[in-house]
C-alpha cells in the first residue's frame, strides 16, 4: 500500500523529491524481510521489495541516472524471482524492456519482451499483453520498421479491448491500460517513424494527452 501511494504521488511530485523517501521505504522493507520468521513471510516481503525497487529504478531513469536505474531494475527482477511470482517477474522484465527501448537498445528490448511472453505463455493477462505490445511497437518504430510497428499497434489495440472483460488488473499493475495509452503509443510511434501517414489526428493527440498524470504527458512530449 505504501509503494502504491508513492507510485500515485509520482504523477505530480518531482522524482528528485520522491527518490530519498522511496529509497528509505525500500531499506525498511529489506530490514523487515531480513527478520522474516519463515520462508513464506520472506517470499511475501521479497515481492513487496521487488515493487519498491522497480519504483526506485523508474525514478532514477526519470532523473537520467541510467546506471542506477539498471541496478535497481536488476534488483527488482531478482527479488521477484525470490518471491516465486512469475507475473511480478514478468512485469519487472517488461519494465527493463521499456527502459532499454527508450535508451535506444531496441534489439535488447525486443529480446526481453519475447522472454516475458515465453515465461507467461497463455497465462498472460490482457493488460500485460497490451503493455508489452505497446513497448514492442515503440521499439519497431525506433528501428524504423513501419510494418512491424503497425502489427504491434494492432495487437495492442486488440489486447486493450479485452482488458475491461477480465478481472481487475492484477498486482503489481496500479494503472489500467486503456485507449488513452494506445493513442499515446501511436503518437510516439508516428513521431519516431516520421512518415506522412503516421501524422496523428488532432483527436488522437487530445486523447493521448488527456490523462491526469502530469509526468506521463511530459514524457509523451519528450518521447515524441
Q: What is the pLDDT of residue 16?
A: 92
Q: What is the pLDDT of residue 183?
A: 87
Chain segment 85-127, per-residue pLDDT in tens: 999 999 999 999 999 999 999 999 999 999 999 988 888 899 9
Instruction: Write the CB contacts of 1 (distance below 8 Å, at least 6 apart in sequence).
Output: none
Q: What is the pLDDT of residue 75?
A: 96
Give counts: helices (H), strands (E), the chain: 11, 0
For the chain, the distance separating the N- and C-terminal CA atoms, rounded to the nearest angstrom, is 33
For the question of whether the overall pTM of this predicted structure is more than 0.85, the answer is no
DSSP 173: -
CB atoms within 10 A of CB 33: 19
Q: What is the pLDDT of residue 7?
A: 85
Can you read off the three cell numbers belonging to residue 58? 523508474
Identify the segments of the chain with pLDDT beneath 50: 213, 223
Q: What is the pLDDT of residue 158?
A: 96
Amino acid at each position: 500500500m505504501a509503494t502504491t501511494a508513492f507510485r500515485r504521488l509520482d504523477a505530480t511530485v518531482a522524482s528528485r523529491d520522491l527518490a530519498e523517501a522511496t529509497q528509505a521505504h525500500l531499506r525498511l522493507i529489506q530490514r523487515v524481510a531480513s527478520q522474516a520468521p519463515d520462508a513464506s513471510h520472506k517470499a511475501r516481503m521479497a515481492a513487496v521489495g521487488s515493487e519498491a525497487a522497480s519504483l526506485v529504478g523508474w525514478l532514477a531513469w526519470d532523473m537520467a541516472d541510467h546506471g542506477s536505474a539498471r541496478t535497481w531494475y536488476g534488483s527488482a527482477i531478482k527479488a521477484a524471482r525470490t518471491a516465486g511470482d512469475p507475473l511480478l517477474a514478468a512485469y519487472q522484465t517488461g519494465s527493463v524492456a521499456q527502459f532499454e527501448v527508450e535508451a535506444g537498445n531496441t534489439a535488447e528490448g525486443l529480446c526481453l519482451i519475447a522472454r516475458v511472453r515465453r515465461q507467461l505463455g497463455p497465462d498472460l493477462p490482457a493488460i500485460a499483453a497490451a503493455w508489452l505490445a505497446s513497448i514492442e511497437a515503440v521499439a519497431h518504430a525506433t528501428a524504423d520498421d513501419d510494418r512491424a510497428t503497425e502489427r504491434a499497434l494492432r495487437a495492442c489495440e486488440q489486447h486493450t479491448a479485452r482488458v475491461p472483460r477480465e478481472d481487475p488488473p492484477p498486482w503489481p499493475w496500479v494503472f489500467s491500460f486503456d485507449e488513452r495509452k494506445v493513442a499515446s503509443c501511436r503518437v510516439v510511434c508516428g513521431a519516431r517513424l516520421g512518415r506522412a501517414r503516421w501524422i496523428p489526428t488532432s483527436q488522437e493527440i487530445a486523447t493521448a494527452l488527456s490523462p491526469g498524470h502530469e509526468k506521463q504527458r511530459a514524457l509523451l512530449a519528450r518521447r515524441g
